[in-house]
Each structure stands twice: as structure tokens, then as C-alpha cells.
Amino acid sequence: MSTKSKKFFLVDELVTRANESLPSELSLTERTVRYYQSNNLIGKGLKISELPEEFGSKIVQRGNQRYFTPADCTTVVDIRTALAKGASIELLGGGRTQVNEEQYLSPVLQSRSIDYSTGYSSSDHIEFSRSFQMSEIVSDYVALPEVLDAWSLQLRSDLTLNGTGARPNVDTIRELQKFVSLNFAPEQTLQSSDEYDYDDEPIIGRVRIEIELVDIAAPFSGLLVNASNAEVTPGGGASGRIWEVCGVEELSPQRADSKLPLKPGQVAFTTAGRGESRGFTGVIHAYGPRWTSPVDKESLNKGKKQVPMNGEEQTLVRTWENILTMADEYGDNRIAAPLISSGLFGYPFQDCAETTFETILRTPTRVTHVHIRTVSRRSFDQLVEARNRVLRKLDIA
């Protein structure tokens, strides 16, 4: 068996393979890989007991060694390249901070929504062993406080206030309602998602986009979108979290090998596996574009749009069009997703957000709600700003 055809190998070969894909000035060592592991950018590798029987049974010297896959090699190359371009560990979804998983499994910690309807690798037989990975779209991780109580207040049919801590008293609620009546546009009749006729023609601009400061796998009633790799296998960040919650053993057998690898912009569907207990009705695995065009850091810092010279923008548009089409095919009008391509794939964050939102708004669809999720407060604020810019651009109230 040639070295290149091996599906599982030790860390020394991981380093050798990665360096074959990297320029000499970016060559790495085993110590580099350990550093990435200590910062939660890549997994610790697979134990012998986690390998497929046909491979593990041939190993003579059995100990605590860990094995890696070609997908791990690709991830290491992506990390090395991104760091060389100026990205930080935090931007790539890593860090040594100890995270309390429970705080990310609580209800939505904070969300801002606006209604403008009118105007990760492993074999098929192992269980994913990561306990938690932060969202790959994190740009500035800030530890979130532990939430003891969360509440939701329906001020009117199209306006919900979510919060934590003490629930507002009656007088406060009345003041809030008064404020809304004086400062918000009149309430407009909107057909509820429960009453929506899935036989209707797809409509443009009726989607409500909500930006949520919450774990990607927090409970949700609807479809979950995974920022996938081409092989539809567990990755890092938000992807690793989704595979952990839904279950590798449950999802891996559903991969349609005849249709893999995916090409950039393509999507694939699996059930939600164990994630059904959290309300997920299925998982759309979307393989978004990698940003390979030059990045002008000076203009980027000034908020100017980067020039996609290799078709990245068109591919991102096609990715979201395919996501919405698949959601329509499976009859679900609610979606929760990360900001696809904005993490290790290197798509400039603001450009990625604006293209995503504009595509969602311009694409005919029966989907009525799209929830974009992040665990980064900075990303949360940037997403809200980007959404509002798109709304103004498209003149949607």
C-alpha cells in the first residue's frame, strides 16, 4: 500500500504530508501539531480502539498512539496557512480557555431579530470523542456568563423580547408595550409559519433572519446546517459540535458515497440522528467556498469589500441557494446555521455575511426563518450590522 493511499497514519506522517502541501517557509513540525491540539484547533487523533476493525487488527505494537486521517492533514494545512496570513488562534475557533458546555446548551442567550417579510476526520465506525469545540466562525471569543434563568416576552405577534435574570414585572411590561407602540412601525398581518402553505410558490424577501449568540447545537425546531468538508465527515469548530451532538455512528452511514466528494457549493442531507431530541429535523451539510483570492489588509481594516477573483462569491451564493432549495424539498421552513466559509475557509467575515444575507433575501424560497448562530460577541455584533446594511441596500423595512 502506498503512503498516499493510507487512510490512517501517525503524527510523523501527518507532518510529512502537510509539509508536502506547504511552501518551505511554512513547514511545520510535530511540536506545531501539538500546539494546535493544545489550542483546540484539531482533535487529538483516533485511538486504536476507535479505528475500523480491518485496520486496527493489523497493528502489532499496540499502545497509546493516535492516528490521523487525510482530512486532518487538510485541516492542519489550512490552519498553518491562515495563521501565516495574520489570523489569530481565536479567529480560527481555538484557545486554551476552559469552556463550560452547559452554558451553551441553555436557551438562546441573546438574539436580535427583524421581520422584513414585507418590505470535522473519523471512520464510519467510531464515536466522535471531542467534548466541545467552539464555533468555527468565532472571531473574538468572550466567555459568556452562566445563565440561571432565561425568559421570553411576547410584546406583540411580530415582536419577542428575550432576556436572562429576573423577569420584568407588570409595570415594566406595560412601559415596554407603550414604548413599542410609540416607536415601532404598526404591526402588520403576517401568516404564521404554522399556517404556511408549503404548496405555495416560493417567495422572495419574506424570510426573517435572526442573529443568535448561542451554541450552534442549542435546541431548535427545524433544519440544522453544517459547514461541511467535501467528504461530509466531522471537522472542527461548529462542524465538530454538530457531529458530536447528532452522532457520528448515526450520520456516517447516511453519507451517499456515490455523490462524494462534494464540489464547492453543493449540499447533502442526513437525518439529525441523536439531534432529533433537541428538535432538529435534519442536517444539511453544505460545502462552501474557500477564499483563495488576495486579501488587501489595509482596505479590509477599513471595512472595504475584497475582490473575489476566483469565483468565491458566486460559489457562496450557489451554496445558500442550494441550502434553501433543499429545505424546500424536505418541507421545512426553519433553518439554523453558522456563517458558512467564514472560519478556516478564510472568507472575509463582513463580505461573507453580506453576501449570505443578500442571497437569502433574493432567493425564492418557502423558508420563513433563518437563524445565524455564533458564540462570539464580536461576531454577533458584526452580523447584526451586516444584516442591517443589507436591509437598507435592498430597501426592506
**The 3-state secondary structure of the chain, one letter per residue:** CCHHHCCCECHHHHHHHHHHHCCHHHCCCHHHHHHHHHCCCCCCCECHHHCCHHHHCCCCCCCCCCEECHHHHHHHHHHHHHHHCCCCCCCCCCCCCCCCHHHHHCCCCEEEEECCCCCCCCCCCCCCCCCCCCCCCCCCCCCCCCCCCEEEEEEECCEEEEEECCCCCHHHHHHHHHHHHHHCCCCCCCCCCCCCCCCCCCECCCCEEEEEECCCCCCCCEEEEEECCCCCCCCCHHHHHHHHHHCHHHHHHHCCHHHCCCCCCCEEEECCHHHHHHCEEEEEEECCCCCCCCCCHHHHHCCCCCCCCCCHHHHHHHHHHHHHHHHHHCCCCEEEECCCCCCCCCCCHHHHHHHHHHHHHHCCECCCEEEEEECCHHHHHHHHHHHHHHHHHCCCC
* Residues whose CB falls within 8 Å of the CB of residue 382, separated by 6 or more in sequence, listed in order: 139, 349, 350, 353
- Say if 137 falls within a structural domain: no
- Domain residues for the domain of 72 are 3-84
Residue 25 sits in the same domain as residue 167 = no
Residue 104: what pLDDT? 35
Residue 157: what pLDDT? 64
Amino acid in the structure at residue 21: S
Residue 137: what pLDDT? 36
Residue 80 sits in the same domain as residue 204 = no
- Say if 114 falls within a structural domain: no
- Say if 222 falls within a structural domain: yes
Residue 253 sits in the same domain as residue 352 = yes
The pLDDT profile of the chain, 397 residues, written as one tens digit per residue, is 445 667 888 888 889 999 999 998 888 888 888 888 888 888 888 887 788 887 777 776 556 678 888 988 999 999 988 888 888 887 777 765 444 444 333 334 444 444 444 443 333 333 333 333 333 333 333 344 444 455 666 676 667 776 666 777 777 777 887 787 777 666 554 443 433 333 345 667 679 999 999 999 999 999 999 999 999 998 888 898 999 999 999 999 998 877 889 999 999 999 999 999 999 999 999 999 999 999 888 888 888 899 999 999 999 999 999 999 999 998 889 999 999 999 889 999 999 999 999 999 999 999 999 999 998 889 999 999 999 999 989 887 5
Asked whether the beta carbons of 287 and 265 are under 8 A apart, the reply is yes
Residue 202 sits in the same domain as residue 280 = yes
d(C-alpha 210, C-alpha 384), whole Å: 9
Strands laid side by side in the 110-114 sheet: 110-114, 208-213, 369-374, 334-337, 222-227, 280-286, 267-270
Residue 167: what pLDDT? 72
Residue 68 sits in the same domain as residue 202 = no
Q: How many domains does the chain have?
A: 2
Residue 167 sits in the same domain as residue 64 = no
Residue 251: what pLDDT? 93
Which of 84, 119, 135 finishes a domain? 84
Longest Cα separation, the chain? 76
Asked whether the beta carbons of 177 and 167 are under 8 A apart, the reply is no
Residue 76 sits in the same domain as residue 220 = no
- For helices 349-362 and 377-393, what crossing angle results, to 10°? 50
User: Residue 159: which CATH number?
Assistant: 3.40.220.10
Which of 51, 84, 117 finishes a domain? 84
- Say if 260 falls within a structural domain: yes
pTM for this model (two decimals): 0.56
Which of 84, 119, 139 finishes a domain? 84
Residue 93: what pLDDT? 75
Residue 96: what pLDDT? 57
Residue 224 sits in the same domain as residue 306 = yes
- Say if 138 falls within a structural domain: no
Residue 56 sits in the same domain as residue 172 = no
- Say if 210 falls within a structural domain: yes
Residue 276 sits in the same domain as residue 381 = yes
Cα atoms in the 13 Å half-sphere on the side-chain side of 228: 29
- Say if 118 falls within a structural domain: no
Residue 383 sits in the same domain as residue 284 = yes
Decide: residue 64, CB within 10 A, 0-12 exposed, 13-18 middle, 19+ buried.
exposed
- Say if 100 falls within a structural domain: no
User: Residue 19: which CATH number?
Assistant: 1.10.1660.10
Residue 75 sits in the same domain as residue 219 = no
Amino acid in the structure at residue 49: S
